């Protein structure tokens, strides 16, 4: 076997990180029996949320809900995820489970899904769980650009302390300007690829790559190639910059 000479595209910095598939570390956790998990983003690196991949060769039953006060978001990449409350999610199905949701989680053999968890910041009434699938969501052009379509997976009302969107880029489309904002992001590339600017670095990115963007990090994406590019992106939202971390 050829050695890889210590190379990876993963790059972990003070205010952003690129996490690429060849450097994933799959581990087990006591509260996820039967699974392997690759945590890609976590508070240890400065993020205010955790994001990772979960996979299971034999399938899962009765996985306990998230810890007290923690919201959970699941996005299915392969296979099926089920909840004890009766919902079944196929590929690109998703679930938002607010803190203290009772439902346990199951999954089919060969499942892989994205898992995000964060300490929920309530503003009034805590929203009910949300279940859906990406193909059912109507997209809207971002700031009038019909080459850049956003699908919002969660309702936009103020009870939600975050949003999770799919951004669809026509080949050659790009963000209109370099964004800087205090809200942070977790991102997973779903299709296509291009160049992601993070702070003062320009990274080639493609399907399967994950990105953490910390508060205020300058960010820009340009889609390259002949096929559309898509990414899933989490953003803390409806929060004041003065909310305690």
Given the rule CB under 6 A, which residues bind ligand UGY?
167, 175, 179, 185, 219, 233, 235
Residue nearest to Mn ion (CB): 179
Q: Which is nearer to Mn ion, 133 or 216 (CB)?
A: 216
Of residues 58 and 243, the one with the C-beta less far from ligand UGY = 243
Report the nearest approach of Mn ion to the CB of residue 142 (Å). Answer: 10
Q: Choose among 163, 161, 167, 160: nearest CA to 142.
A: 167
Count interface residues toward Mn ion (CB under 5 A).
1
Phi, psi of 202 (to 5 degrees): -115, 120
Kindly calculate the radius of gyration of the chain based on its CA atoms and give it in whole angstroms: 18
Q: Counting Cβ atoms within 10 Å, is residue 138 exposed (0-12), middle (13-18) or buried (19+)?
A: exposed
227: phi > 0 → left, psi -120 to 50 → alpha, else beta; which?
Answer: beta
Nearest residue to ligand UGY, using CB? 219
233 contact choice in ligand UGY, Mn ion, none (CB below 5 to 8 Å, kind-dependent): ligand UGY
- By a kind-dependent CB cut-off of 5 to 8 A, residue 101 interacts, out of ligand UGY, Mn ion, none, with none
Binding mask 163-182 for Mn ion (x = CB under 5 A): ----------------x---
Residue among 207 and 235 whose Cβ is closer to ligand UGY: 235
CA angle, residues 85, 135, 145, in degrees to nearest 5: 135
Residue 220 burial (CB count, 10 A): 15
Residue 199 is a binding residue for Mn ion (CB under 5 A)? no
**For residues 121 and 92, is the Cβ–Cβ distance under 8 A?**
no
Closer to ligand UGY by Cβ: residue 123 or 235:
235
Residues that bind Mn ion (CB under 5 A): 179
């Amino acid at each position: 076997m050829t050695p890889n000479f210590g190379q990876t595209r993963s790059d972990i910095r003070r205010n952003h990180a690129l996490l690429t598939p060849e450097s994933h570390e799959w581990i087990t956790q006591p509260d996820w029996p039967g699974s392997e998990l690759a945590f890609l983003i976590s508070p240890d690196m400065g993020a205010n949320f955790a994001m990772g991949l979960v996979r299971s060769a034999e399938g899962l039953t009765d996985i306990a809900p998230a810890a007290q006060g923690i919201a959970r978001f699941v996005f299915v990449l392969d296979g099926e995820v089920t909840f004890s409350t009766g919902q079944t999610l196929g590929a690109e199905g998703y679930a938002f489970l607010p803190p203290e949701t009772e439902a346990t989680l199951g999954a089919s053999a060969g499942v892989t899904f994205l898992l995000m968890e964060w300490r929920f910041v309530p503003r009034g009434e805590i929203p009910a769980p949300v279940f859906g699938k990406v193909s059912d969501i109507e997209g809207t052009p971002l700031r009038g650009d019909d080459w850049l379509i956003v699908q919002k997976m969660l309702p936009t009302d103020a009870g939600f302390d975050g949003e999770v969107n799919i951004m669809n880029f026509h080949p050659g489309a790009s963000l209109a300007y370099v964004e800087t904002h205090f809200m942070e992001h977790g991102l997973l590339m779903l299709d296509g690829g291009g160049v992601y600017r993070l702070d003062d670095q320009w990274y080639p990115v493609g399907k399967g790559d994950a990105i953490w963007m910390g508060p205020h990090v300058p960010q820009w994406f340009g889609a390259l190639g002949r096929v559309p590019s898509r990414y899933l992106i989490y953003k803390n939202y409806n929060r004041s910059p003065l909310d305690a971390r």
